[in-house]
Amino acid sequence: MTAELAERLDTAALTATPIPQIASRAGLDAAAAYTVQEQLVARRLARGERLVGIKLGLTSRAKMAQVGVDEVIWGRLTDGMTVADGSTVDTSRLIHPRIEPEVAFLLDAAGNATAVAPALEVIDSRYADFRFALADVIVDNSSAAAYAIGSWRPVPDGVDNLGVLLEVDGRVVQIGSTAAILGDPRRAVSQGLRLAGRVEAGWVLLAGAATAAVPLAKGAYVRAVVEGLGAVGVRAS
């Protein structure tokens, strides 16, 4: 059954067609849901994509409350999801994309953060109306769709309260702080290591959203600015 769920999610993503909340309806628990996620990502790897990191989700109280859990979730990042800073995200291949500002960490083989950068993550639930229960979002690879990363720099002392702005076409649309990410985004590194079990040198870790996500509309230029870390931008086509 898990292989069938993975195939349905893969097809939903490939065809940009939303599906019902199949995992929660099937009564999957979190452990079973992560098995489906692994199978889903394995299909991408079989098509030639490569694992390049992990992402955390539900890292703010508000999002945990929305899904009714008090635990963060994680997902797998592939090179097929990367978008270069300043380049274009093709929204025609997505269902109802949203974008959010984050910070990213660069990991060494032991899972230590060796560098940090501002990041933008495009999330795209494969479920109708972006509605899901915990098992649904886990099997859906935590809504991962695409991400862009700005310039890496050494991790400064204290990244726990950096101001974060999300701009669309030069206007500030969301304002927050990295404190929204588990109180301190460095906690995402240890949580990610614990949840994923293993990491590889050079992997990226997307720590979680610093503000609410906003819809990503075709034609928009979106930029995340993080205090002391610089900025990263993408254009939606």
Partner 1 sequence: MNAAALLTEAYRTGVPCPPLRGTHIPEGDVDAAYAVQREQVDAWLAAGRRQVGAKIGLTARAVQEAFGVFQPDFGVLMADAAVPDGAEIALDRLLQPRVEAEVAFVLGADLPEPQVTTVDVIRATDHLLPAIEVVDSRVAGWDISIVDTVADNASSGLFVLGTRPVRLSDVDLRLCGAVVEHAGEPVSVGAGAACLGNPLHAVAWLAATLATAGQPLRAGDVVLSGALGPMVSVTPGAAYEARISGLGSVRVCFGKEAV
Q: Do β-strands 51-57 and 204-209 pair in parallel, antiparallel, or remain unpaired?
A: parallel
Which range touches partner 1 (CB under 8 A), out of 23-31, 71-79, 149-157, 220-228?
A: 220-228
Residue 71 CB, nearest approach to partner 1 (Å): 15
Work out the number of other CB atoms within 10 angstroms of the CB of residue 84: 10
| Nearest one of 3, 83, 101, 86 to 43, comparing CA atoms | 3
Q: How far is Cα of residue 141 from the mean position of the Cα atoms in its chain?
A: 9
Which residue, 80 or 228, has its beta carbon nearer to partner 1?
228
Comparing CB distances to partner 1, the nearer of 39 and 178 is 178
202 touches 105 (CB < 8 A): no
Min dist. Cβ of residue 169 to partner 1 (A): 16
- Give the nearest distance from C-beta 228 to partner 1 in angstroms: 8
- Closest listed residue to residue 93, CA positions, set 124, 129, 114: 124
User: Is there binding between residue 71 and partner 1 (CB under 8 A)?
Assistant: no
Applying CB under 8 A, among 28, 73, 225, 236 the residue interacting with partner 1 is: 225
How many whole angstroms separate alpha carbon 237 and alpha carbon 235?
Answer: 7
Distance from C-alpha of 20 to C-alpha of 22, rounded to nearest angstrom: 6
Nearest approach in angstroms of CB 112 to partner 1 is 24
Site for partner 1 in 157-196 (CB under 8 A): 161-165, 172, 175-180, 183
Give the integer Cα–Cα distance in Å for 231 and 217.
20
Binding-site size, partner 1 (CB under 8 A): 18
Among 51, 96, 227, 235, binds partner 1 (CB under 8 A): 227
Per CB under 8 A, which of residues 90..129 are in contact with partner 1?
none
- Smallest CA-to-CA distance from 101 within 122, 87, 79, 77 is with 122
- Binding residues for partner 1 restricted to 39-68, rule: CB under 8 A: 61
Q: Write out the residues near partner 1 by the rule CB under 8 A.
A: 61, 161-165, 172, 175-180, 183, 210, 225, 227-228
